[in-house]
Structure 1
Amino acid sequence: MVGVMDLNERSREILRRVVETYLETGEPVGSRFLSRQLPLSLSAASIRNVMSDLEGLGLIFAPHTSAGRMPTEAGLRMFVDGLLEIGDLTDDERIAIERQVSGSHKSIEDVLDEASKLLSGLSHGAGFVVAPTYDAALKHVEFVPIDAERALVVIVTEGGAVENRVIEIPKGLTPSALAEATNYLNAQLRGRTLDEAKAHLARELETQKAELNELTAKVIEAGLATWSGSNSAAANNDPLGKSLIVRGRSRLLEDVHAVEDLERIRLLFDELENKRDLVQLLGLAEAADGVRIFIGSENKLFSLSGSSLIVSPYMDTQQRVVGVLGVIGPTRLNYARVIPMVDYTAKLVGRLIN
């Protein structure tokens, strides 16, 4: 496959301008327009010849016979890998990101939710976060009644992370039964990681259910079902499993140019709904040392809609990947702006959740 160094300076500059103009406007770029924009002294006819060569290499194409040219996925990839000039965030931008994501939040889920909203707002795409699987030791578990049929499960880890889940409780459950469930769980689970706690609790319930009040046992089992993700953590956005938070889908509709764009967005919405598959995004970034970019069909999960992903893992204090965040949007994302924002947000989230 042809690489950026296989192109001469003139071809590289014309490809760069075609891509940059497309990313800015979403429209095909013509030779006359380029002749006015290029620093090189080239006639429209010379530019057409170069564009014809680039088209022959599969880097640009003409959407209509008389139209200008647009980059192919291969052209976008070459631009991102070899021609893109990525800037750095300003101090003001860093402060603004830190203020929005950290704030006074106590819950990890709040931090992750704010991160996905932030990325959506900055990129004009959909921001997403794949939440981590926690392996911190549990410190405290408590059931707090909400109403006659629901209770809040509060889980606190040794590291101070707090997570809340709402569960359904049996009708007629007394406050003393909730207190009994709280005491039982704290006696059984304290000091164990979530995975250890789930396995231990499942064994204990088999042997000790008879010793517990029947309603109390049902509450404990409801809590266990919530933590184990028996209804699919991915489908329920359960941050105690590998779950997905997506924010800003409506922004994808803000820049629709044509009927085919609308169809692409519809397909992307369908793909975003398949959250179980989307949790595979964690695997896309696990081996990455920083930001990775997937353009169009390079990523099977979004091949139908031809969308791009800019993703980065975030790490725990041992530099282990615990989750991934990023932006999903059209292939004409503003890569130069979004890449450093995704990178910085990932580093910030990693610090905040540890």
Structure 2
Amino acid sequence: MIPNGVIPADDQRAADIFECSLRSWRAAKRWQDIPGLVLLREGGGRRARVYPEVQLLAARAIEVNARKRGEPPVYDLPAVPIGISHPDDLLDLEEAREALPAERRPSLSAWKSYRYGSKTQLPAADFVLGGKEVDGGVVGGTEFWYRHTILTWDENRPKPGWPEGTGRPAGSKDSVPRGGTRQGEARRQLVRAALAKSPKITAAVLAPMIDVHAVHAERLLREARMERVGRMLADDPDLTAAAVGETFGVNRDVAGRLLRDNGGSDVDSEDRSDTGRLLDANPHLATGELAAAIRASEKHATRLLREARMERVGRMLADDPDLTAAAVGETFGVNRDVAGRLLHEARANA
């Protein structure tokens, strides 16, 4: 359950905060190294793990400060309201079923059919964590419903003994596509105005201003930032992630996603130049070294380093068309598989 007022974070967001790859975060099980970190949703297999973002940010700051002092970190994380029910709590599919009165609770198989079947259907999810926006919709991710959404839906379900014919006919569909509400558009206008006045406003500050859950505020704020970045790109096609981050007070990864989703490039020319210079000075340059040198996340540094290596292999191919993967691996200090992929793609792009 995501308690009311708590902004959630999945493994990808956690990896971004701790400036490591998603694979590294999961392989090292970093969440187990942080005493007091609350798991809002247990993970495993395809089940998404969910944490309170505020605790991850606090833990990261504690670790960075402890490292500067040369001391082991002592974690003192912000409290998270657990075990207190609120109408605006966000529930996953299983938790939504458990929220129903016992006498009205369907079996798990029936409940899943309400979500994925074509007859009785649950309302649309109020929030999707980790999904990707594709053609105006959200694909993938974990769906959540407000507690009040599920309870209201249940109250309006036909009950035993109701007159025959009440309720919506099975299999019926909307005759007209459902659109946004006036209230929703009014909130969007308020968010746009708030962002125009205070570009670095956060979802936590915005939520009580527009009377919505912090997760909903985060989504509305992202929409408004996307619109703003679109206008910024129209004025400056060479807009950088650094400039976006400075405008909104967000980190490089968040700024990069805003740029990418607007069709821009999240890799700054300055970063490319610095990476090329560092690789020329040290061909065995590692991702971690680059990330520290340019103060970027490992994810961002990985992409930059790969681009720089590809460019270098292209020049090597021009000088030696018979270049081998072994020679590429020796140059960069990488294994044969990595060297082979670099060489293959460089030949394809030649």
Q: TM-score, normalised by structure 1?
A: 0.24
Higher strand share: 1
Which one scores higher on RCO, CA 8 angstroms, separation ≥ 6? 1
